[in-house]
Each structure stands twice: as C-alpha cells, then as structure tokens.
Amino acid sequence: MMLKRRLVKLLLFILEEVFERCNGFLFVLVFASIITFIVIKDTLSQPYDRTQHKDTYAAFDFKSKRDFPFVRGCVDPDIYSHDSEYIRQNATFVMLTKNDEFEEVKKTMNSLESHFNQWYNYPYVFLNNVDFTDEFKENIRNLTKAEVRFGTLDELLWEFPDGVRDSFEFHQRLVDQSDRSIMYGGMESYHKMCRFYSGLFYKHPLVQQHEWYWRIEPDVEFFCDLTYDPFFEMQKSNKKYGFAIIIPELYWTVANLFRYTRSFIRENDIVVGSLWKLFTRSYKVLDTEDEELQKWVNFEKEIDDKISEMIAIEHLIEFDTEDDDGIEFLIRRAQSKYPIIEDKFDDEEYNMCHFWSNFEIAKVEVFDNDLYNSYFEYLEKSGGFWKERWGDAPVHSLGLGIMLNLADVHYFRDIGYRHSKLHHCPRNWDGNNKRGKGQLPYEEKESRFARQEGSLKWNYDKTSEFGSGCRCICPKKMDVEDSSYQCFEKWIGMVFFDNEDDYNFELDGEWTGKVDTNKRYKAVKKDFLRYKKEEDDWVKKGIKVGEADDL
C-alpha cells in the first residue's frame, strides 16, 4: 500500500512538472499515454474467462445422431454402477513412464483418482524400458486402492531394429533433425517412445490382458468429475476410440508420413473408412473420369479456365483451323506442365489433423489387428520413425482413418483435460435450465479426497444450458477448441452434418466438394459459342475483334 501511494504521488508530481514546463499538447500526450498504459496493462492481466465469451465454441451445443456426450452433468456413481444393466468392463489405464517421473505421475494419479477412479477402481499398467525401482513401485501403489502392475519392455518392443540402430545413417539422421530444430527430433528416446506407442504398446502382455485401455501420461490434469464409466458407455454405444483433443501436427515432423500411408493403401487396395476424410484434403474437385482434366485442376477456381481451354481446342479441331483463341490455348497447353502439388498423393493430402494421443480411451483391438499391424510394419520399413520424427498421434489417426468410420469415434467433450500447455474444459451442465439440476453434490468415496466446503476445490464453475460437464473447475485460459480450432471445426462439421458425404470443407473453410463436370462444361460452352457468334457478326460487319472490345 505504501509503495502504491508513493507511486501515485510521484506520478502527480511528474504531471504537475510537465504541465508547468511544457505546453498543453505535451501534457495531453503524456496523460493519454499513461491512461493507455494502465488500460492495456489491466486487460493483459485479466485472466481469460471462457464463460464471459459468448462467441466461443464453448457456447455451442453440437447435437448429432452420430456423436454426443454419453452423460450430461453428473450421475451418482453408486446408483449408476448398481444399475442392473451396468457391466464393469475389462479395462485398464496404461502409462509409459520413467523412475524419475514419480512426482509427475503422482499428479496425474491424484487427479484421476479424485475425479474418477475412487468410484470405479480400474487397474493400472505401468510400462518402462528399464525395470521400475522398488521405491517407485511402492510409492505408486500407495496412490490407489486399485490393482497396479508394472511391466518392463523387451528389446523388440523398445529398440529400433539391429540393422538400424548401429548404422551411421541412424545417428546422422537424428543429428540432422536436431540441427533443423525439429521438436524432439534429436532425442533418440523420444523417437523410440513414438514408435512404441505407434505400433507396439498394445502387444505388451499386460495390455493384452484387457479389452479396453485408457492411456494416461505423467503430469496431466483433469478438471471435472467423471461420474459414469466411459468404458461401459463406449461399449454400449459401439464406440471404438475416444479422444479429448484434436489439433494440427507440426509439418516437418511428418513430412513423408502421408506419402507412405497412401502407398500402403494403394498397394493393398484398401477401401478406407469414412473417418479418413477428417484427416485428408481431396483434390478431386471434379466428378469426371477424364484423367487429363483431373490432372490440370486442383482447385475449384481453376475449373472454368481449364474447361474453356478444352472447349476452344475442341472447337479449333472441329471447325476452324485459324481460330485465334484455340491456337493460343493449344500453344499454352503445349508449353505448360501439369501443376505439381508437393504433398498430393493419389489426389489427396494430409491436413495435419490428429487426435492428441496422450489421452486415448479405446479398444485394444482397434490397433491390435492384422490391418493396423501391417500398416505399422509398412511404416517401420520406410524408416520414418527415425529418418523423420513421426509422432504416434498422427500415425494412430491416419491408421484409424483407414479402418474406422466417423461414428466409431467419440469426442469426450465432457472430460476436462490438460496435457502440457493445452487443455479442453467443458461448461457445467445446468440440467435443462433448472439451475444446477445437472449437478449433484460431491461425495467422496475415500476420505483423502474430501473437498472442504468453501475451499477452492468446492468452488465449481457456473452452469450453462450448453454445458456437459460435472463439477468442473476450468482453467481461466483459452480452450483448445478456440485457440486451435481448425481441426475441431472439421470434426464438428463432419459429425454434425446430416449426411457425412455432404461435408466438403477443408480447414481453411475452402470448399473441396465435387463439381458436376457436365453441367459446368455445358455452361462454359454456351458462353463460348455465344462469343464465337458475336465474333462472326463483327467480322461480317467489318469490325476487328480488338476494336469491338473498345466499343
């Protein structure tokens, strides 16, 4: 307080001095600057409160027959799990971690136990490339009543194949990625981790003992109570894979991933699922069998140009050996090459979107099947897990895109979740406008999770009719739904469109649907013939074409 008063005094003194010594203009200038500074400083220090922003995605309730929150607001876990229809699932948490990460693991487990697992007691599987220490195991066991198992990965699951890891190229590639500042590109262990999660974690015997898994990581946080059983709800709704965050990948980590993915699909004649569209952009903007035309046209805006060129050339060949336009187009065509789009393979391109795989609730068999395993082997042979730094998230996503339909996937929009600096957190549900009815009072199952009345943990966010969460306390920072909306927007567009085939927009909102080629052709031809006729009329009247333009 003292300091503040002295600062104000000082400020007033400066103002007086300025006013006396300088002219009025300078005074106004200085005064305005100070006010601006105070206002800006004030706005910057305001925390971002999502509930105060009406135009965010949080304010929209997306309803669809294909995907929706399993439960809105809270249920009573005791009643829920004693329902005659409820079946506890054959499921486990899975975490790959290191002995020196206990504090981070503890944060994750405390958050998970207090928000969910104190009621459901699902077991944990911890995996490590070296043995867990007794101390680590003991400390972990002390964090939960649930069963905990520890597994060590054998070489096959963890190390790069023999021929690879001793090669000069292997080391040189890592150094190169490090030099190019590719995130974690120079870290061998990170590459191993990505490869392991991409195609091997589900082969570990401890994971194989289950039908479902929920992947967790050290130092993640949950913001809402999950009072129902997500495994059971997934089973009930026939879902195979659930995510909490969808974002775009860093381009240079996966520059060649799509090239290999596409050739895997081509070589094996695979018909991809409808989820594929979520991760790809199509350059097939014409519904034509004309491969020549298809090669020239990649964007909608190029269609009319190419068709009129085609028509002029046809016209030249058919009628008029001296038609200027036709000749001009023909020369232009002869001089140009098909446009090359670097990342286009089989008329498609990866749009970098991926489910952020540090959170996954899924069926083990969604990856543990012949198709996905052969996809992983194909990728492994290409060397991309070390020549580049393919993340398990884009690999999982493209693999899922090959195998699954949109409706097989569930967005856990009601789960508030943070990993590193990104988070998603829903609004609390108000229970059909009856304030707070969607929320139930919290009752701990274990005394260590008691929430003191009046404490921060008791102070839940306001409810909203658009909410889905249960007793959430969200960070006052921007949600990934808003800060990294591009991929989320496409997910919503596809899932919430009545007919998923009708959804034809890419991340930047550009239309990527198919144009009726015949219709376009007819329209352009009509214009062309009218123009030719006008031209003929001018010729008859003795006017040259160039002059006609000036009339």
Ligand X SMILES: *[C@@H]1O[C@H](CO)[C@@H](O)[C@H](O)[C@H]1NC(C)=O
Ligand Y SMILES: Nc1nc2c(ncn2[C@@H]2O[C@H](COP(=O)(O)OP(=O)(O)OP(=O)(O)O)[C@@H](O)[C@H]2O)c(=O)[nH]1
Please report, as ranges, the residues that interact with ligand X according to CB under 6 A: 90, 139, 142, 209-211
Stretch that binds ligand Y, among 96-104, 200-208, 269-277, 371-379 (CB under 6 A): 96-104
What's the token pair of residue 1? 């307080």
Question: Residue 139 touches which of ligand X, ligand Y, none (CB < 5 to 8 A by kind)?
Answer: ligand X
Choose the contact partner of 142 out of ligand Y, ligand X, none; CB within 5 to 8 A by kind: ligand X
- Nearest-approach distance from CB 72 to ligand X, in angstroms: 30
Question: Does 133 contact ligand Y by CB under 6 A?
Answer: no
Query: Of the listed pieces 53-61, 97-105, 376-384, 452-460, which binds ligand Y according to CB under 6 A?
Result: 97-105
- Nearest partner of 34 among 12, 17, 1, judged by Cα: 12
92 binds, among ligand Y, ligand X, none (CB under 5 to 8 A by kind): none
Q: Are 148 and 123 in contact (CB under 8 A)?
A: yes
Residue type at 5 in one-letter notation: R
Consecutive H or E run containing 194 = helix 188-199
Grouping H, G, I as helix, E, B as strand and the rest as coil, residue 378 is helix
Considering 360, 380, 388, 481, which one is annotated as catalytic? 360
Q: Which does 98 bind (CB under 5 to 8 A by kind): ligand Y, ligand X, none?
A: ligand Y
Is the Cβ of residue 184 or residue 449 nearer to ligand Y in the bound state?
184
Residues 197-236 that bind ligand Y (CB under 6 A): 217-218
φ, ψ of residue 411 to 5 degrees: the values are -95, 115
d(CA 426, CA 419): 15
Using CB under 6 A as the criterion, what x/- string covers residues 332-371 for binding ligand Y? Answer: --------------------------x-------------
User: 89 or 397, CB closer to ligand X?
Assistant: 89
Beta carbons within 10 angstroms of residue 526's beta carbon? 10
Beta-carbon count within 10 A of 41 CB: 9
360 is catalytic: yes
3-state SS track over 402-456: HHCCHHHEEECCCCCEEECCEEECCCEECCCCCCCCCCCCCCCCCHHHCCCCCCH
In whole angstroms, what is the distance from residue 305 CA to residue 297 CA?
9
Query: Minimum distance between the CB of residue 90 and ligand X, rounded to whole angstroms?
Result: 4
The residue length of the chain stands at 551
| Contact residue for ligand Y among 178, 268, 420, 432 (CB under 6 A) | 420
Size of the site for ligand Y (CB under 6 A): 14
Place of tokens 């003992």: 209
**Residue 252 contacts by C-beta under 8 Å, 6 or more apart in sequence?**
180, 182, 388
Q: CB 216: neighbour CB atoms within 10 A? A: 24
Q: Which does 389 bind (CB under 5 to 8 A by kind): ligand Y, ligand X, none?
A: none
CA gap 520, 315 in Å, rounded: 17
Is 117 one of the binding residues for ligand Y (CB under 6 A)? Answer: no
Find the binder of ligand Y among 89, 128, 288, 468 (CB under 6 A): 128
Q: Which of 98, 259, 295, 451 binds ligand Y (CB under 6 A)?
A: 98
CA atoms within a 13 Å half-sphere pointing along the CA-CB vector of 166: 2
| 101 touches ligand Y by CB under 6 A | yes
What is the rounded (10 degree) CA torsion for 228, 234, 235, 238? 150
- Least distance from C-beta 331 to ligand Y, angstroms? 54
418 touches, from ligand Y, ligand X, none (C-beta below 5 to 8 Å by class): none
| Segment contacting ligand Y by CB under 6 A, of 94-102, 272-280, 329-337, 463-471 | 94-102
Choose among ligand X, ligand Y, none what residue 33 binds, the Cβ cut-off being 5 to 8 Å by kind: none
244 binds ligand Y (CB under 6 A): no
Q: Which span sits near ligand Y by CB under 6 A: 32-40, 90-98, 336-344, 537-545?
A: 90-98
Q: By CB under 6 A, which span of 89-97, 205-213, 264-272, 323-331 interacts with ligand Y?
A: 89-97
- Are 214 and 91 spatial neighbours (Cβ–Cβ below 8 Å)? yes
Q: Considering only the stretches 187-195, 246-254, 268-276, 284-292, report the one whose residues sit in contact with ligand Y under the rule CB under 6 A.
A: 187-195
Structure tokens at 463: 């409810």
431: nearest Cα among 390, 469, 399, 397? 469
Considering CB distances under 5 to 8 angstroms, the limit depending on partner class, which of ligand Y, ligand X, none binds residue 96? ligand Y
Instruction: State the Cα–Cα distance between residues 122 and 119, nearest whole angstrom.
Output: 9
3-state secondary structure of 81: helix
Which residue sits closest to ligand Y, CB atoms considered?
Answer: 189
* Cβ–Cβ under 8 Å, residues 285 and 300: yes
Q: Which residue lies nearer to ligand X by CB, 211 or 506?
A: 211
d(CA 199, CA 187): 19
189 near ligand Y, judged by CB under 6 A: yes
Residue 518 binding partner per list ligand X, ligand Y, none, with a CB distance cut-off of 5 to 8 Å that depends on partner kind = none
CB nearer to ligand Y: pick between 419 and 427: 419
Q: Which residues of the shown chain bind ligand Y in the complex (CB under 6 A)?
A: 95-98, 101, 128-129, 189-190, 193, 217-218, 358, 420
Question: Which residues carry out catalysis?
Answer: 360
